[in-house]
Amino acid sequence: MKRPANALALAVLTLLYEKPMHPYEMSTTLRHRSKEESIKLNYGSLYAVVESLRKKGLVEAGETRREGNRPERTIYALTPEGEHAMREWLAEMLRDPSPQFTDFEAALSLMGAIPPDVVEDMLRQRLEALAKESAKSNGLRAMMPEGFPEIFTVEGEYAQHMREAESAYVRSLLEKISSGRLGGLEGWARLHELREAGHSGDDLQQKLAEEFPGIFDWTLDDAGG
């Protein structure tokens, strides 16, 4: 069975592997364990995910309970098919690297559309934001009681390592831009100078191709078929 793109489905299956629950208990358990830091979670989508898993035969609806004046809540349990799917999907996600298509990676691939000095400023702001996130993460870890099991914090440690790696890359990219060592920087800056001077379209591409042969002239060749 194809694994769903939404990791919340896998979270539901792992919770029901522990014990049968109603969706509200699933939500509160995930929040209590701070899983919203690593899994996109909202109560409305949780109900939709549970219903989708039920239709696929991976979970089944059981008894309905009412606590005090609260609405009736249906208890869901994991089916044997659901346990098998949970193990297969989790193994696949742990084992196989997959493209994530992050917003930052997309922005890096398109950053030539804004001037280098603006990109510099944005990257410096990103570094500040990453530093604040790291400080917050370190503060939360410092508040953990002594002997708190590491198994419950590994995703936070991973996120911290990713922030540190991203910060190192951003600092390196900033240094290349500010020092003029980034390949293609002159053409990038010239593109925006010409735009500011009123050039656009084929006229813009022609001027860039003349000034930077072998870099910008491929767009003219492609356009001509």
Assess whether 158 and 145 both reside in one domain: yes
The total of structural domains in the chain comes to 3
Assess whether 81 and 154 both reside in one domain: no
Assess whether 24 and 12 both reside in one domain: yes
Assess whether 121 and 161 both reside in one domain: yes
Instruction: With 0.95 as the threshold, say if the pTM is over it.
Output: no
Assess whether 56 and 118 both reside in one domain: no
Q: Is residue 131 part of a domain?
A: yes
Q: Is residue 2 part of a domain?
A: no
Q: Determine the 3-state secondary structure of 90 from DSSP.
A: helix
How far apart are alpha carbons 11 and 46 in whole angstroms? 10
Assess whether 130 and 73 both reside in one domain: no
Q: What is the dihedral of CA 105, 111, 117, 118, to 10 degrees?
A: -80
Q: Is residue 1 part of a domain?
A: no
- pLDDT per residue of the chain (225 residues) written in tens, 0 to 9: 888 878 999 999 999 999 999 999 999 999 888 888 888 888 788 999 999 999 999 999 998 876 766 677 899 999 999 999 999 999 999 999 988 889 999 999 999 999 999 999 999 999 999 999 999 989 988 888 888 889 988 999 999 999 999 999 999 999 999 999 999 999 999 999 999 999 999 899 899 989 998 777 655 444 333
Assess whether 146 and 84 both reside in one domain: no
Q: Do the beta carbons of residue 21 and residue 76 sit within 8 Å?
A: yes
Q: Output the CA angle 7-12-14, nearest 5 degrees.
A: 95
Give the containing element (helix H, strand E) for 73. strand 73-78
Assess whether 176 and 194 both reside in one domain: no
Assess whether 11 and 91 both reside in one domain: yes
How far apart are alpha carbons 139 and 152 in whole angstroms? 16
Assess whether 63 and 115 both reside in one domain: no
Assess whether 127 and 66 both reside in one domain: no
Domain boundary among 34, 67, 95: 95
Domain membership of residue 169 as a residue range: 102-182
The b/e string for 39-61 (b: 16+ C-beta within 10 A; e otherwise) is eebeeeebeebbeebbeeebbbe
CATH number at residue 24: 1.10.10.10
Q: Is residue 171 part of a domain?
A: yes
How far apart are alpha carbons 220 and 197 in whole angstroms? 21
